[in-house]
Chains A and B, each alone.
Chain A
Amino acid sequence: MCGILTQNLGVLIHILAVILSWFNPFSWLKWTPTSMTKLAQVEYRILQSLKNVVDSKFVSLPGTSNRIWTICANKTIKRTPLVLVHGMGGGVGLWAQNIDELATNRPLYAFDLLGFGRSSRPSFSKKPQIAEMEFVDSIEAWRKEMELEEFVLLGHSLGAYLAAAYAIRYPKRIKHLILVDAWGFAEKPVQSESDRRPPTWIRMVASIMKPFNPLAGLRAAGPWGPNLVKRFRPDLHEKFSDRFDDDTIFEYIYHCNAQHPSGETGFKSLTHSFGWAKNPMIHRASDLDKEIPMTLIYGSKSWVNSETGYQIKHIRSDKYVDVQVVRGAGHHVYADKPEPFNTLVTKICNKVDGIDQMSLASRRTQSVPNFRQSESKELKVPLQSPDPAQL
């Protein structure tokens, strides 16, 4: 009797849950106008503009319920694949201006980091080491599922930090490590006493903000959130104006960040109060396998100081470390100056495969001369600078 009752109860609860999920009152009263479906729709619009993307799918990570959203292009070509890791608050859609170019003659994979974009949003540990491990493990699990043996790993910002952490733990997988405007490498400078103390009200605001997630305001703003993005980041539209002349990119950024803040919390665990990494990567740069060649790309206008790149070059002085500064680009190097960025990365990847530049030049007549042009233009500036008319 009792067994039947409990059995029925279970069925009843299940039915109730199904009904509730269909007529979820919360979805009607939702404050922030976002959902995974909306994100998927916007992302579809972005990916549609690409020529090369053939495959997009969820990759389930074994042992967990987590899934990682992956897109790949040119899977069949037998060359070293390139894996792109986006930064904080981003997603695969931000590579819109790079995927086509970078995937011209090699397989390319890009995925939403665990906790960001369309991937699952689990809760991360509060401890920096463990949170970092969770991120890195998810990447390794993804790699196993994708059956990639060796690849070129490219990370931007937070992605660069994680890429470096990954390379330290799984050096065998990395053919070349490309870090673009890497976050989390420099150590927090010691505040000297002589520095001007900020006024009280600013310190008060700062201490109030401390417990919140960095983008909590965006979610709290609810229906005004999309406008907030538009209002405060009009430059995003500028960056992608070649591709989208509507609000696509704003919507994408909004839907990526307005959802449950999981990766954001993970990021917060990795940081001190305002943006400095708790375990700066610069101390671990020497742990990186000697064999792994490294390229650090920085934007000349970015707030990330390229000084750190030269420090790493100094630390790993006996190994291959190349520091490149893309002139005129800000933090989002790949979006600000897609052409020089793409040619730079293509060149690195070709080098990994040992492809002769000259033979390539004859095959792809368009992009290589472009590169020559852009590079010479960039570097000629200082030489020509004395003549103002030419500038």
Chain B
Amino acid sequence: MNFSVAGCGFLGIYHIGVASCLKQHAPHLLESAKFAGASAGAIVSCCLICDCCLGQCTSFTLKLASKARSRSLGPLHPSFHISKILRLALREILPENAHKIASGRLFISLTRVSDKKSVLVSDYASKEELIQALLCSAHVPFYSGFLPPSFRGVRYVDGGLSDNLPILNDHTITVSPFAGESDICPEDNSSNYFQINLVNTSMQITVGNLYRLSRALFPPHPEILSDMCKQGFDDCLVFLQKNNLISCTRHLSVMSTITPVLKPEKMDVVVENSEGEEEDTCDAAAHHHPGEDEPCEECKKKLQVALIDTLPPKVVAALQTACESVNNGVSFYFHKYTSLKVLSLLVTPWLLPFDLVYNFCVRFLDYLPSLPEDAQQLSKEIVHFVKHSVYQHRKKYTARFTCQLAISEYNYDIDKPVAKTMYSPFRPQPTQPVVRNLNIGFAVDFETDVSNTMKSLRCLENKMEHLDIAQVELQSSRPGQSVIIQTDPHHLKDKNIDCSQLFDTFEQCLHVSNEMESAMAYYYKDESDKQCYNFQEIFNLNNMEINLPDPMQQKQNSSATESEIDLSWDDFMELKPEIETELEELIDSALSLPEHGVSFEIGE
């Protein structure tokens, strides 16, 4: 089971609440779980994986929040270097072997600056690199600084801009501080119909969510933050209870021994149970083992404790001290009296220029040593970005090869009725009773984005020689639901042939598809996307040996293959007569295309 944790700036404190609940009540889930997240979500998951003190994390977040609130411009004030503070804090909090723990378990979502695409990072060479990745993921453009940080030489910004809630697989528990369709999320008491899905995070349009969004980067009062933390804990608890995930370790062992011990009559109990309504884990176990009530008592006790449980004492203490310090400090007076508040706002414009100049100087001096390298890299990336955005909508040169093979099946039995429709472009002699014509075809597309015609032609030529199957898109499509594309991996493994090697050149591709498929293949143009071809093949690998000839040998074999095709086709039809009608439909749809025969076209 995996967790996906949404990025949300200062609302990350909600995740700390969730994390402490998981740690307390469902440690078995955490043992091998993978975590994916963006910005604050990634940072909290990292802390959770590395088993950091969550109390420390909470107090740090609150300290950061109150620091952001202390200045008149809030977190936008030039003296508030969020990245720097985060870096120092992460260095302190994370253990030395953090990168080893996190590699392969923590997936950080980043947004690449050059093409705005989402990137998931999951291996880290050192602790410093892990921290750098976390900081990249938490870099909100213009909020955390103007220059995006780089990870392994590529510049990234906040992962929340492209994929805020990366989903690893079907068994992913999503955690989001925004009310919506996530597994663990607060429930706003609203019946509002409308919800949106922003960068993969589902959000109901409610007053509460609007408030949370507005507070993600501009932190609210620590009291409100601590409420959010508690909310996270409660929501997580509700989720665990709903899904019966709370149980004690002793209980677990009982559960795991159930299956092998089962006797036939007990089997029914299990089936009944799995089909019945949700039950508490404890009750279920009691049901199975009426004699073993004692461990379940303990479990029940634990469940009851969990019901009234709240945040762990460390986290609570951190929350309390933060609230108190806010209420006692000098800034409290500023916030308490409106006149002082107004005064500080009035003073701001006068002080701000000095602040700005001072902070800029400090930053510049900090930055000076790495300037030339960075400037070079940044200019490169900007050029790349501009290029990308200019050429994105430009038309590309493409070449398409289509190949069609018509197979005619003859009926020598005179008693059977003769089909009148002729599918083949090559019309056979009228005296021969044609039963059926089959058209087999495939298409290969090449494309370049080079603007010059000559250049593109050369480029295409070049590509043709080094055709890689990875670039040829094989798509299954709807009408052929019942027809399966079979690429038998075992077969290939036996021969130690890599798939890309298999379809190395165009000729080979042609040959292999001829030899292997033997049933049929068809393609059609996608209605909406003109460049996309849906391409379908049926392979009949069960009763056939594939031997892959070299391009040299292929010519010699070519005469032999033709006869083989007919043979294996017959075999195929004999084996599976029920497919016949389906195939006929497919062929009809394939034949409705205007292209026939081999064509080669280059167009803009």
> B244 within 8 Å of A by Cβ?
yes
What is the 8 Å Cβ interface bit string for chain A, positions 145-189, against chain B (1 contact, 0 not)?
Answer: 000000000000110000000000000000000000001101011
Question: Do B251 and A183 touch across chains, with their CB atoms under 8 A apart?
Answer: no
A388 touches B28 (CB 8 A): yes
Question: B529 contacts the other chain (Cβ, under 8 Å)?
Answer: yes
0/1 interface trace, chain B 187-206, chain A, CB 8 Å (1 if under): 11111111111101010101
**Closest Cβ neighbor of A332 among chain B residues:** B181
Whether A274 lies near B211 (C-beta < 8 A) is: no
B207 A275 Cβ-Cβ under 8 A: no
CA distance A136 to B135 in the complex (A): 56
Closest to B243 in A: A382
Number of A-B contacts defined by CB within 8 Å:
135
Complex contact A198–B243 (CB within 8 A): no
Q: Which residue of B is nearest A186, CB measured?
A: B191
Task: Give bound CA distance, A91 to B6, whole Å.
Answer: 32
Q: Is the CB of A391 within 8 A of B1?
A: yes
Within 8 Å by CB of A303, from B30, B187, B198, lies B187
- B179 interface hit (Cβ, 8 Å): yes
Q: Within 8 Å of chain A (Cβ to Cβ): is B245?
A: yes
Decide yes or no whether B558 CB sits under 8 A from chain A. no
Q: Is the CB of B181 within 8 A of A199?
A: no
Contact of B180 among A276, A303, A389 (CB under 8 A): A303
**With A246-B529, A388-B32, A391-B171: A202-B210 Cβ-Cβ less than 8 Å:** yes
Contact between B255 and A376, CB atoms less than 8 A apart: no
Task: State whether the Cβ of A49 lies closer than 8 Å to any Cβ in chain B.
Answer: yes
Q: Are B224 and A274 in contact (CB under 8 A)?
A: no
Task: Give the chain B neighbours of A88 by CB distance below 8 A.
Answer: 193
Per-position binary interface string of chain B over residues 557-594, scored 1 when its CB falls under 8 Å from any chain A CB and 0 otherwise? 00000000000000000000000000000000000000
Q: A327 to B193, alpha carbons, bound, how many Å?
A: 20
Q: Which of A299, A328, A386 has the most CB of B within 10 A?
A: A386
Contact of A202 among B30, B207, B478, B528 (CB under 8 A): B207
Known: A233-B197, A381-B243, A383-B274. A388 touches B191 (CB 8 A): no
The CA-CA distance from A201 to B159 in the complex, in Å, is 28
Which residues of B, 65-122, contact A by the 8 Å Cβ criterion? none
The reply to whether the CB of B4 lies closer than 8 angstroms to some CB of chain A is no
CA distance A235 to B214 in the complex (A): 23
Residue-by-residue, is B1-23 near A (CB-CB < 8 Å gives 1, otherwise 0)?
10000000000000000000000
Residue from A157, A201, A331, A384 with most neighbouring chain B CB atoms (10 Å): A331
Is B544 an interface residue when CB atoms closer than 8 A count as contact?
Answer: no
Q: Are A235 and B204 in contact (CB under 8 A)?
A: no
User: Cβ of B408 < 8 Å from any Cβ of A?
Assistant: no
* Cβ–Cβ < 8 Å partners of B193 in chain A: 88-89, 157-158, 183, 214, 267, 275
Residues of chain B within 8 A of A274, CB atoms compared: 190-192, 206-207
B179 partner residues in chain A, CB cutoff 8 A: 303
A137 adjacent to chain B (CB < 8 Å): no
B485 on the A face (CB < 8 A): no
Query: Counting CB contacts under 8 A, is A206 at the interface?
Result: yes
Measured CB to CB, the nearest residue on chain A to B189 is A189
A274 and B208 alpha carbons, distance in the complex (Å): 12
Residues in A whose Cβ lies below 8 Å from that of B198: 232
Is B376 located at the chain interface by the 8 A CB criterion?
no
A375 at the interface (CB under 8 A from B): yes
A208 to chain B minimum Cβ distance, whole angstroms, is: 13
Rounded to whole Å, the gap between the CB of A326 and the closest CB of chain B is 13
Q: Is B317 in contact with chain A by the CB < 8 A criterion?
A: no
Q: Are B528 and A247 in contact (CB under 8 A)?
A: yes
Pair A387/B256 contact, Cβ less than 8 Å: yes
Tell me if B's interface is mostly helix, strand, loop or mixed. Answer: loop
Q: Does A30 reach chain B (CB closer than 8 Å)?
A: no
Interface positions, chain B 166-194, Cβ under 8 Å from A, are 170-171, 179-183, 187-194
Give the chain A neighbours of B170 by CB distance below 8 A.
Answer: 328
User: Chain A's interface: helix, strand, loop or mixed, by majority?
Assistant: loop
- Is the Cβ of B251 less than 8 Å from the Cβ of A386? yes
Alpha-carbon distance between A196 and B1 when the two chains are bound, in angstroms = 35
Is B478 within 8 A of A382, CB to CB? no
CB under 8 Å from chain A, chain B span 276-309: 276, 278-279, 281, 284
Q: A232-B198, A233-B196, A302-B181 are in contact. Are A205 and B189 (CB under 8 A)?
A: no
Given the interface pairs A49-B478, A385-B281, the reply to whether A234 lies near B200 with Cβ below 8 Å is yes
A380 within 8 A of B: yes
**Residue of B170, B171, B192, B256 with most partner-chain A CB within 10 A:** B192
Contacts of A386 in B (CB 8 A): 28, 247, 251-252, 255-256, 281
A376 with B192: CB separation less than 8 A: no
Contact string against B for A residues 261-305, beta-carbon threshold 8 Å, 1 for contact and 0 otherwise: 000000100000011110000000000000000000001111111
Contact A385 B244 (CB under 8 A): yes
Candidates A188, A198, A376; contact of B211 at CB < 8 Å:
A198
Contact B274 A379 (CB under 8 A): yes
Number of B residues whose C-beta is below 8 Å from A?
58
CB contacts under 8 Å to B, within A325-342, are 325, 328, 330-331
Q: B191 touches which one: A206, A276, A375, A387 (CB < 8 A)?
A: A276
- Tell me whether A383 and B273 are in contact in the complex, defined as CB-CB below 8 angstroms, given that A243-B478, A331-B181, A388-B31 are known contacts: yes
CB nearest neighbor in A for B196? A232
Interchain CA distance A183-B191 in the complex, whole Å: 8
The interface size of chain A toward B, counting residues with CB under 8 Å, comes to 58
Q: A233-B197, A274-B191 are in contact. Are A388 and B211 (CB under 8 A)?
A: no
Q: Are A303 and B244 interface neighbours, CB within 8 A?
A: no
**What's the Cα separation between A201 and B211 when bound, in Å?**
10
- A215 nearest in chain B by CB position: B194
Closest B residue to A206 by CB, please name it: B207
**B29 sits at the interface (CB 8 A):** yes
Enumerate chain A residues within 8 angstroms of B243, measured Cβ to Cβ.
Answer: 381-382, 385
Cβ of B415 under 8 Å from chain A: no
Whether B545 is near chain A, meaning CB under 8 Å from some CB there, is no
Shortest Cβ gap from B272 to chain A (Å)? 11
Closest approach, in angstroms, between the C-beta of B476 and any C-beta of chain A?
A: 11
Residue interface bits B234-278, CB-to-A below 8 A is 1, else 0: 000000001111010001100110000000000000000111101
Interface 0/1 of B211-249, CB less than 8 Å to A = 100100000000010000000000000000011110100
Given contact pairs A183-B191, A277-B191, A199 touches B1 in the complex (Cβ within 8 A):
no
A301 to B197, CA, bound (A): 14
Q: How far is the CA of A299 from the CA of B211 in the complex (A)?
A: 26
CB–CB A202/B211 < 8 A = yes
- The answer to whether the Cβ of B472 comes within 8 Å of any Cβ in the partner chain is no
**A275-B190 in contact given A380-B274, A383-B255 (Cβ < 8 Å):** yes
Cα of A302 to Cα of B190 in the assembled complex, Å: 12
Q: Is the CB of B197 within 8 A of A382?
A: no
Question: Is the C-beta of B53 less than 8 angstroms from some C-beta in chain A?
Answer: no
**Looking across the interface, which residue of chain B has its beta carbon closest to that of A242?**
B478
CA distance A384 to B284 in the complex (A): 12
* CB closest chain-B residue, reference A185: B191
Min CB gap B580→A, angstroms: 19
Residues of A within 8 A of B275 (CB): 375-376, 379
The answer to whether B197 and A388 have CB atoms under 8 Å apart is no
Q: Most chain-B CB neighbours within 10 Å: which of A201, A277, A382, A384?
A: A382
Across the A-B interface, give the 10 residue pairs with the lowest CB-CB distance, nearest first. A382-B244, A391-B1, A386-B252, A275-B192, A275-B191, A330-B181, A232-B196, A246-B528, A235-B197, A301-B181
Residues of A within 8 A of B (CB): 49, 88-89, 157-158, 183-184, 186, 188-189, 196, 198-199, 201-203, 205-206, 214-215, 232-235, 243, 246-248, 267, 274-277, 299-305, 325, 328, 330-331, 375-376, 379-389, 391
* A-B CB contact pairs (8 Å), 13 listed: A199-B211, A203-B207, A232-B197, A233-B196, A233-B197, A234-B197, A235-B202, A379-B278, A385-B29, A385-B247, A385-B281, A386-B28, A387-B252
